[in-house]
Amino acid sequence: MPRVLSRPAPLSPGARLHLMWLASPALPVGGFSYSEGLEAAVDSGRVTGEADAAAWLRDQLHLAVARSDLAVVARAVPAWQRHDLARVHELNDWVLQTRETSELRLQTEQMGRSLVEWLRNRGGGAQADADDARLAQCAALPPAPTWPVAFALAVAQCLPAAAPGQDSDAALREALLSFTFGWAENMVQAAIKAVPLGQSAGQRILQALVDAIPDAIDHALTLPDSQRQAFTPMLAILSAQHETQYSRLFRS
């Protein structure tokens, strides 16, 4: 007789809520203070309205986020789950070495440190967090834990291992949805302030990004280490120019 496979167990409500929490713009890691080069694109006239902003952010999602940070989170979560510190170091080093400007590097370091501090100090699971040696290991990553690696640790703490019958790939995909939606919300808010745009325009851009996120995650999940990359020359140029931009709202 053909074998009947049971349906994978869904994430627990607590785990799903934790992933939603990590995606929240209210998470105190400072993501709202960065535009990742978008402000410089506005200042240079490359982004002048809603259509430009939507196209810019879709391109950034596919060409930068999916091929870099998303791919790192996809590898770092299982590394933290199996306590593979050598792999974590390797991934953290890769993020630092591929940040193309000082602004982008400072962003990933600052947000990574802030997330580790939040994990240490949050309520509800503080004792469990204090007993997790991975927190100290993450904080000690030289010269700093990066944002995608620290985010992966936060995910590993709420998804410590795949339970019997649970689809670990599905759980990882939900974690990547959380990471990417958090990025999308922060960037849309940056576009609203920098272009500037109205709230309705911002919601339309967010809808376009939501529609594009599943494909970006599919791409990130299939990338081997040899194809992971952070090569966005125009974004790097604009980020470098932003460092000396006369008037600015954002730190990148």
Encode pLDDT of 137-176 as tens digits: 999 999 999 999 999 999 999 886 554 444 578 899 999 9
Task: For residues 74 and 177, give the distance between their C-alpha atoms in angstroms, rounded to a whole number.
Answer: 11
Question: Where on the phi/psi map is residue 198: left (φ > 0), alpha (ψ -120 to 50), or beta?
Answer: beta
State the residue for tokens 């081997």. Answer: 224
Query: Token match 């990574």: residue?
Result: 112
**Residue 222 burial by Cβ neighbours in a 10 Å radius (0-12, 13-18, 19+):** exposed
- The mean pLDDT value for 21-45 works out to 93
What pTM was estimated for this model as a whole? 0.92
> Distance (Å, rounded) from C-alpha 146 to C-alpha 153?
11
pLDDT value of residue 169 = 84
Superfamily of domain 35-242: Urease accessory protein UreF (1.10.4190.10)
Alpha carbon 90 to chain centroid, angstroms:
18
Q: 19: which residues sit within 8 A by CB, 6+ positions away?
A: 11, 155, 158, 174, 175, 177, 178
What is residue 164's predicted lDDT score, i.e. its pLDDT? 41
Whether 127 shows a pLDDT value over 90: the answer reads no
Residue-wise pLDDT tens digits, 179-221:
999 999 999 999 999 999 999 999 999 999 999 999 999 999 9
9: β partners: 166
Over residues 49-68, the pLDDT tens digits come to 999 999 999 999 999 999 99
Q: Which residues contact 233 (CB under 8 A, 6 or more apart)?
A: none
Would you call 236 exposed, middle or buried from its count of C-beta atoms within 10 A (0-12, 13-18, 19+)?
Answer: middle
pLDDT at residue 123, rounded to an integer:
60
Helix axes 168-194, 199-222, angle to 10 degrees: 140
What residue ranges do the domains of the chain occupy? 35-242
